């Protein structure tokens, strides 16, 4: 309500970092205090891995990691690199557990004041912005792992994603009750095609 979507961009896939141990299977996460977004779906899912989810604003994450308030966090590689989380985290696990889209939005009232030509200009600019965004994310993804290794992080690349999916079984059952099995099936079927 009140917004017009101009384009879909992305931030990349989210991966886990922590200061305690390498993570290759869900059992490796048991007992870790992990910062997560203030998102009830993520919190419920992370509980299935044995994580002690700790929701907090991103602005608090570096200090919380530094002080040991939390053991780890999860973000796209570009964020992990830009925020210099390697300074307070030893382990990076390429879990790719959540895709992080980004949406270019505009206030609907302002949109409706624009001429058709101006609307098209905004749509064209958003389209170009998405191209630049995706190129940056692709570049970040290519360079980040080597960069983080060079900065001293230990990288777990052989994460058993099938075990992570299996561990989410109880969460999927809960989500199916809450949101409808058909919706869960549509999401899972779409994800399996990509």
Q: Rounded to whole angstroms, how far apart are CA atoms 160 and 26?
A: 8
Neighbours of 91 (CB within 10 A): 19
Phi, psi (rounded to 5 degrees) for 30: -55, 125
Q: Taking residues 89-103, what's their average pLDDT? A: 94
How far lies 93's CA from each of 74, 97, 110, 127, 186, in Å? Answer: 9, 10, 43, 32, 28
pTM for the model: 0.86
How far lies 10's CA from each of 50, 127, 185, 194, in Å? Answer: 28, 13, 23, 15
**What would the pLDDT profile of 100-138 be if each residue is shown by its tens digit?**
999 999 999 999 999 999 999 999 999 999 999 999 999
- Structure-token pair, residue 136: 């940056």
Q: What angle do CA 97, 177, 170 make, to 5 degrees?
A: 45
Which DSSP letter does residue 88 get?
A: T
Q: Taking residues 11-24, what's their average pLDDT? A: 96
What SS3 state is found at 72? strand
Q: Does domain 3-162 have CATH number 3.20.20.10?
A: no
């Amino acid at each position: 309500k009140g917004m017009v979507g101009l384009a879909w961009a992305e931030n990349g896939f989210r991966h886990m970092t922590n200061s305690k141990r390498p993570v290759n299977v869900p059992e490796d996460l048991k007992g870790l205090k992990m910062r997560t977004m203030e998102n009830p779906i993520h919190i419920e899912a992370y509980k299935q891995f044995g994580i002690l989810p700790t929701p907090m604003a991103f602005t608090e994450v570096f200090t919380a990691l530094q002080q040991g308030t939390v053991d780890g966090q999860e973000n796209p590689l570009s964020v992990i690199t830009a925020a210099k989380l390697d300074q307070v985290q030893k382990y990076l696990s390429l879990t790719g557990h959540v895709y992080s889209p980004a949406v270019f939005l505009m206030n609907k009232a302002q949109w409706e004041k624009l001429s058709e030509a101006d609307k098209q200009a905004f749509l064209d600019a958003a389209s170009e912005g998405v191209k630049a965004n995706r190129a940056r994310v692709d570049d970040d993804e290519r360079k980040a792992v080597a960069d983080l290794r060079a900065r001293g992080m230990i990288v777990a690349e052989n994460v058993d994603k099938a075990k992570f999916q299996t561990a989410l079984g109880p969460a999927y059952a809960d989500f199916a009750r809450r949101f409808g099995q058909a919706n869960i099936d549509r999401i899972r079927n779409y994800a399996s095609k990509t």
